[in-house]
Structure 1
Amino acid sequence: MAILGLSAFYHDSSAALLIDGKVVAAVQEERFSRIKNDAGYPEHSINYCLAVAGLKLSDVDHIVFYEKPFLKFERLLDTYLTFAPRGVRSFATAIPVWIKEKLFQKSVLLKQFEKHDEGWTDTGQLKFSEHHLSHCASAFFPSPFEEALVLSVDGVGERTTTSVAVGRGNNLSIKREIQFPHSLGLLYSAFTEYIGFRVNYDEYKVMGLAPYGAPIYRDQILEHLIDIKPDGSFWMDQSYFGYATGFSSINAKFRDIFGQPRRHPDEPIDQFHMDIARSVQVVTEEIVLRMAASLQEEFGIRNLCLAGGVAQNSVINGMLARSGHFDHVWVQPAAGDSGGSLGAAQAYWHLAMGQPRCISDAADAMNGACLGPSFSQMEIERSLTQLGAEFEALSDEDLFRTVASDLASGKAAGWFDGRMEFGARALGNRSILGDPRSDSMQAKINLRVKGRESFRPFAPAVLAEHCAEWFDHLHDSPYMAMVAPVAASKLEPVTSEDSGRTGFDKLKVRRSVIPAVTHVDGSARIQTVTAEMRPRFHALIRAFYEETGCPMVLNTSFNGRDEPIVCTPEDAYRCFVDSGLDLLICGNCVVRKPS
């Protein structure tokens, strides 16, 4: 039984394929098109998924789209009627697009399917899930739990912005919902826009910027913008926002609260923007933690699964894991809309078809999120040769030892190995690596390699068996989805002069023995690496540990500024050539730049 899940036409288009309930492939369209957050029809992703299984589209039994366009259109009409006459210009712009392109997405999809297979005929294979059901399914069904609370929080699906579900066995039941226009995701996006970043694109920058500020605007947010109830539910005063009817998330009344205009993207970031970022982050933390605690008390379930865009806030995920309310917290690695394709397929398999789950005691059902394309050593060597690259092919043992030595000497490496990861994080298959002990590595990779803001932090990929020695975190974090404090024993004393630094001046302070992966608040976004899930990446980190005594490497996604993560050896080589990387490892091939 083959079920193809699809997510498309908003952002982060993707496709995922189940064969007899097992996830065999899942990939985002951006990796093929090279368009960041590509929202188009996922033609390449579908072709890849089919190729992995050796299928034609006509061999697929069911195709499941991740949401219901008619329900979304109904919400759009209701919103404009409710807020009329506000939003007339937005209405006039949106409705023709909906009528022409979005309202009849079933017809659009059926026509697109013909591209993949001349033998394709419509026999009723296409089905539609609901947006938040797809998110909840992607969180629970691949998890390692027989029973769990499931929390999905994002901007908005059809109508719902927050869903609470209980999963047991192959059943998933929605228990609570918060509906548009009250949305925690859209609150966070409003501040993303106010700080001068791009909505649905740069929210993670707000999270990274927050530790540089103080939450001095928290009370204003709670007084004017959002009312939080004891159980974590909330109500938002729409007179301050424009996202329901306009082209902007915020309006003049919103800006007047804080006394400053929206920052233009070309303007510098100052302490005000840092304080705003910290304030909305603190409010978001308060809501999610209060909601999770109330739900755990109500349902008495000690496992928690997370999905939706807000589940990409790794600071909050780490707080939930350490809160004491849950024994285990599992985050879908493709928590955003890209994961909707997987959730839609799994919802149909388990809920519509009643098929059982096969739960492993050892791991989840995501195959370590390694669900994308891979390339053999022969294919890699052929590609590098065609590109004119000079390379050396090494045995595994020599490769790990050589790369570990290069990292220890201060080099930054592009690491391309195995199947590409599904989701926003590079987890050791399409990664840029560096020495976490280096005082200069963070700046080097941010500025010379990735061409991005200096305040952005990097993650430590740490041998799971050593995690507790280095971080105050006792949970597995295989998908780099949780932030935790660096262990006190690894911190370094901060002088009174340094403790008084503010803003980006905090970057000058060495806070731990692993400064390249320690954020300015003494935390780190952790990836725990096991030999079972990632044998080659684990072997490389172990080689680095044997050379340096440090059981981790700096890990960040292998891409340049505003580019998707690399997919092919050609992508990797071009990124290597165009950036400040010192070496490239593709499979067992090592490419170096002339000194």
Structure 2
Amino acid sequence: MTAILGISAFYHDSAAALVLDGELVAAAQEERFTRIKHDPAFPSRAVAYCLGEAGLTPGQLDYVAFYDKPLTKFERLLETYLTFAPAGFRSFRLAMPLWLKDKLHMRRTIRHALGDSSRARLVFADHHETHAASAFFPSPFERAAIITLDGVGEWSTTTFGVGEGNRIRLTDHIAFPHSLGLLYSAFTYYCGFKVNSGEYKLMGLAPYGRPVYRDVILQRLIDLKDDGSFWLDMDYFQYCQGLTMTGRRFHDLFGGPPRAPESDLEQRHMDLAASIQAVTEEAVFRIARHAAARTGMRNLVLAGGVALNCVANGWLLREGPFDDIWIQPAAGDAGGALGAALFVWHQLLEKPRPITGRDSQKGSFLGPRFDAEGIAAFLADKPSPGRRFDAEEELVEHVAGLLAEGKVVGWFQGRMEFGPRALGARSILGDPRSPAMQATMNLKIKFRESFRPFAPIILRDRAPEWFDIEPGQESPYMLLVAPVREDRRVPVDPEALRVMADDPDLRRRVNVVRSEIPAVTHVDYSARLQTVDEGRNPRLTRLLEAFDRLTGCPVLVNTSFNVRGEPIVCTPEDAYRCFLATDMDVLVLEDTVLTKDEATRRAGAAAREEYLAQFQLD
């Protein structure tokens, strides 16, 4: 038996993953245990969970693999500060204590965390190799092109290469400071969102705008070549030497200082979002086209933070040169822990990689689970212990009926998801046919910006009936955007749309009924799609089937089980607190269904303000 622990830490979204004789046994982000969103600390709780799930002690580990090379990254940091000196001294002064105290001593930190019993060999892998390993080794492909795109690793920001059997080989790269991820983050910052977490907000804002700045970006900020290589004009950016992403020339170019967080969005911000999204899609498309020509591969795998741009992914799949694409669900830094462990098993130990026709990610359900008996014990002293169902068929029929009545349901089932998306284990569900559901979930439950769309989950075999995707195509990890089919759309008065296009109140724009499933149809008729099947999530599949029998609609709204600023819930206690503190109607904890009654409302009233104050200010 060979046990390999993968770790990512100290930069963004720390995580741990455990591979046992080549099988991915467990993986989780530290934030889910500490309740600190994107927690960058050493993932001691995630490590403890992974070891416990595998039934191992630290002394039984053979290898510990870290997801990048700290010394090489420190070299890049020093060289960058020296290049821009004396500018950047304040940033240098803040960064150095963190590096000298923790980040340069990862070997010591790992040894200390695992204790004296551990004699595991330590491996420090290249950052983009761990991204590539996380994308290719769990994928369903025997051979594929590999593209990794993120902010920056040690030096690389973009790479491509090939994966064949149990080997990966990266052949080309683009080096810091020229970075597609950091370019997108610069616009995230400029539009008033938080870097490293607000990029998906910018993507959701883009359909409200027009790409009027696209040519300005291509002419002034980025020199994008036909083969996808690019160069950024660093005179417009501050991320090498300052504490902000953009500089004065950037602000002058786009008409003023960055938007203050939480202030009103202007049409200019929507147009900027649309413009950088268009440029990103074009860059990804050119890189993919060049990679296809160079490698001769018909399949593609993707990882890195930019691979979470599901709009670009959907466009690439529909219009690009590859027959099929697989994207690592935990495409950001967290997935580096998984990639590092698999890199050791396949690449360094040269172990074979079985191909079954499906990915080996296990639906990304790799986190903790809680049994029905433990949940019953947890609920025993609560105001309303709920109703426990002995038969799954009765449970899903009951919950489907509540959803059809317009109830918002917290759905807590099985193992927690690994990665940033809720995939039906820690989800909030609703009826997509309701014109009010989008606003209700955003404002009363998620407490977030009203413009942001929700994702549909749909039975995999029924997806082509509702969305423009090919029969047999799947999107199990919510990483592809597809248009709602024309015959499912609802005619909208063109004059009303024209007037509304300039309405600063995005709530009025997003709440226009555009299809038979308005709660998951964005203003451009797109939807961030998740397909569900019996193999990956049997209980959720049966719930969708029950809802379809009741309503004729095999679709539900799916959003992550949390409020704004909070990580996705991990434990029954996390879920119960969120249920009490929000206007959620129903909570399903495994086999037990709780409906909000007077007793639970009274119990929640006292905790509500404290709970929201803890998480809302993201």
Q: Distance in 1 between matches of 2:110 and 2:484?
A: 48
| Structure 1 residue 107 displacement after superposition | 1.6
Map of 1:137 onto structure 2: 133
The equivalent residue for 2:4 is 3
The corresponding residue for 1:126 is 122
1:483 aligns with 2:481: yes
Detail structure 1 runs of 4+ shifted over 4 Å in the superposition: none
Which residue of structure 1 lines up, in the alignment, with residue 605 of structure 2? none
Equivalent position of 1:519 in the other structure:
522
Query: Partners in 2 of 1:488 and 1:351 — Cα distance?
Result: 46
- Does the residue aligned with 2:325 lie in a helix, a strand or coil? strand
Q: Tell me how far 1:324 sits from its aligned partner.
A: 4.4
Secondary structure of the corresponding residue to residue 80 of structure 1: helix
Q: Residues 442-457 of structure 1 correspond to what in structure 2 (within 5 A)?
A: 442-457=438-453
With the length of structure 1 as denominator, give the TM-score of the two structures: 0.98
Deviation at 1:124, TM superposition (A): 5.5
CA distance in 2, matches of 1:496, 1:549: 29
* Number of the residue aligned with 2:359: 364
Counterparts of 1:359 and 1:174, CA distance in 2: 21
2:219 is the alignment partner of 1:223: yes
Q: Aligned to 2:387, which of 389, 392, 405?
A: 392
Asked whether 1:39 is paired with 2:40, we answer yes
Q: Which amino acid aligns with 2:117?
A: W
Task: Verify: 1:167 aligned to 2:163, yes or no.
Answer: yes
Which residue of 259, 267, 273 corresponds with 1:271? 267
Residue 498 of structure 1 and its aligned partner are, at CA, apart by 2.3
Partner SS, residue 112 of structure 1:
helix
1:261-296 Cα shifts (integer Å, max 9, x gaps): 111013111111111111111110110011101211
Q: TM-score, normalised by structure 2?
A: 0.94
CA RMSD of aligned residues (A): 1.1
Distance 1:47 1:85 in 2: 43
AA matched with 2:109 = V
> Hey, what's the Cα distance between the residues in 2 that align with 1:72 and 1:339?
18
Match of 1:558 in 2: 561
For 2:249, the equivalent position in structure 1 comes to 253
Say which SS state the counterpart of residue 104 (structure 1) adopts. helix
CA offsets 1:98-143 (integer angstroms, 9 cap, x no match): 12221222122222222xxxx524x462211111100000000000
Kept in 1: contact 2:66–2:123 (CA 8 A):
yes
Distance (whole Å) between structure 2 residues aligned to residue 319 and residue 381 of structure 1: 46
Q: Distance in 1 between matches of 2:596 and 2:452?
A: 26
Give 1:51's aligned residue.
Answer: 52
Instruction: Determine the C-alpha separation between the residues in 2 that align with 1:97 and 1:15.
Output: 21
The match for 1:381 is 376
**Residue in 1 that maps onto 2:203:** 207
Distance 2:202 2:70 in 1: 30
CA distance in 1 between partners of 2:241 and 2:183 (Å): 15
Is residue 237 of structure 2 the alignment partner of residue 241 of structure 1? yes
Q: 1:124 to 1:367 in 2, by over 3 A?
A: closer
* Residue of structure 2 equivalent to 1:180: 176
- Contact 1:374/1:420 (<8 A) preserved: yes
Q: What residue in structure 1 maps to residue 324 of structure 2?
A: 328
* Contact 2:436/2:511, CA 8 A, preserved across alignment: no
Tell me which residue corresponds to 1:81.
Answer: 82
Post-superposition offset of 1:219 = 1.2
SS at match of 2:529: strand
- Rounded Cα–Cα distance in structure 2 between residues aligned with 1:76 and 1:305: 29
> 1:189 aligned to 163, 185, 191, which one?
185
Query: Is the aligned partner of 1:151 residue 2:147?
Result: yes
Write the letter of the residue equivalent to 2:492.
V
1-side partners of 2:94 and 2:445: how far apart?
Answer: 40
User: Does the 8 Å CA contact 2:438/2:511 hold for their aligned counterparts?
Assistant: no
The equivalent position to 1:571 in structure 2, one of 570, 574, 578, is 574
The Cα of 1:354 is off from its aligned counterpart by 0.6
The CA deviation at 1:460 is 0.7
In structure 2, relative to structure 1, the CA distance for the partners of 1:558 and 1:282 (3 Å cut) is same
Task: Tell me the secondary structure at the aligned position of residue 585 of structure 1.
Answer: strand
Asked if structure 1 preserves the Cα contact closer than 8 Å seen for 2:227 and 2:290, the reply is yes
1:587 equivalent among 580, 587, 590: 590
Contact kept, 8 Å, 1:583 with 1:593, in 2: the verdict is yes
- Does the 8 A contact of 2:192 with 2:261 survive in 1? yes
| Residues in 1 aligned to 2:188 and 2:38: alpha-carbon distance in whole angstroms | 17
> Residue type of the partner of 2:99?
W
Corresponding residue to 1:308 among 279, 304, 309: 304
Give structure 1 stretches of 5+ with no counterpart. none
User: Contact (CA 8 Å) 2:148, 2:304: kept in 1 or not?
Assistant: yes
Q: Does 1:498 align with 2:496?
A: yes
Aligned to 1:19: 20
Residue 569 to residue 302, structure 1, CA distance change in 2 (3 Å): same
Deviates more, 1:401-410 or 1:292-301: 292-301
Does the Cα contact within 8 Å between 1:498 and 1:509 map onto a contact in 2?
no
Equivalent position SS for 2:406: coil
Letter paired with 1:263: R
Q: Find the aligned partners of 1:405 and 1:498 in 2 and give their Cα distance.
A: 35
Supply the AA of the counterpart residue of 1:413: V
State how far apart, in whole Å, the 2-side matches of 1:457 and 1:509 are: 13
**Amino acid aligned to 2:288:** A
Distance 2:21 2:100 in 1: 37
1:438 matches 2:441: no
Query: What is aligned with 1:547?
Result: 550
